Amino acid sequence: MFEFLPRDLRDGLEAARKRKLRRKSRLRVQVGDKVYPVLRFWDDGLALDATLTPHLRGLVDVYDGATHIFQCLIVASDSDNGELLCSFKRSTAVFDRAPLDYWRDENAPVGYLPKA
């Protein structure tokens, strides 16, 4: 439907759509010291603005505002309609504490009282 519109009007509509997606999303990808806004995010990939982002490959960090939420390994990135579509090989959630290397009993006491 948009192919009948003049080229400059199509470009303006596309720029407005990307601006809206960028403003709506708080997600961002950090590669080293560079930061790129995320347009869309799904379980095995994400979409970035192709004009702002080079082709990515390797380990990246995904943030929601200031909170580090994922560490992802990007194996493929492809450009489509002005978006850079990145596919993950793995996406690991980041926790604020180290994982336990032992099993914790649900009914274990929280603390012990000293001898009286």
| Sole residue written with tokens 């407005």 | 16
pLDDT at 23: 62
% residues pLDDT > 70 (the chain):
92
pLDDT at 104: 82
User: Domain 2-93 classified CATH 2.40.10.430?
Assistant: yes
Q: For residue 1, what is the DSSP state?
A: -
pLDDT at 1: 56
% residues pLDDT > 90 (the chain):
22
pLDDT at 71: 92
pLDDT at 103: 83
| CB-based contact 38:29 (threshold 8 Å) | yes
Beta-carbon contacts of residue 3 (< 8 Å; ≥ 6 apart): 10
Alpha helices in the chain (DSSP H): 7-24
pLDDT at 22: 60
Q: What is the 3-state secondary structure (H, E, C) of 20-39?
A: HHHHHCCEEEEECCEEEEEE
Both tokens of 28, joined, read: 């961002």
pLDDT at 25: 67
- In this predicted model, what pLDDT tens digit does every residue of 22-72 receive, in sequence order? 666 688 999 989 999 888 888 889 999 888 888 888 999 999 888 899 999
| CB-based contact 16:22 (threshold 8 Å) | no
**Residue 89: pLDDT above 60?**
yes
User: How many other CB atoms are found less than 10 A from the CB of residue 55?
Assistant: 12
Q: Alpha carbon of 7 to those of 14, 110, 111: distances in Å?
A: 11, 67, 69
pLDDT at 21: 63
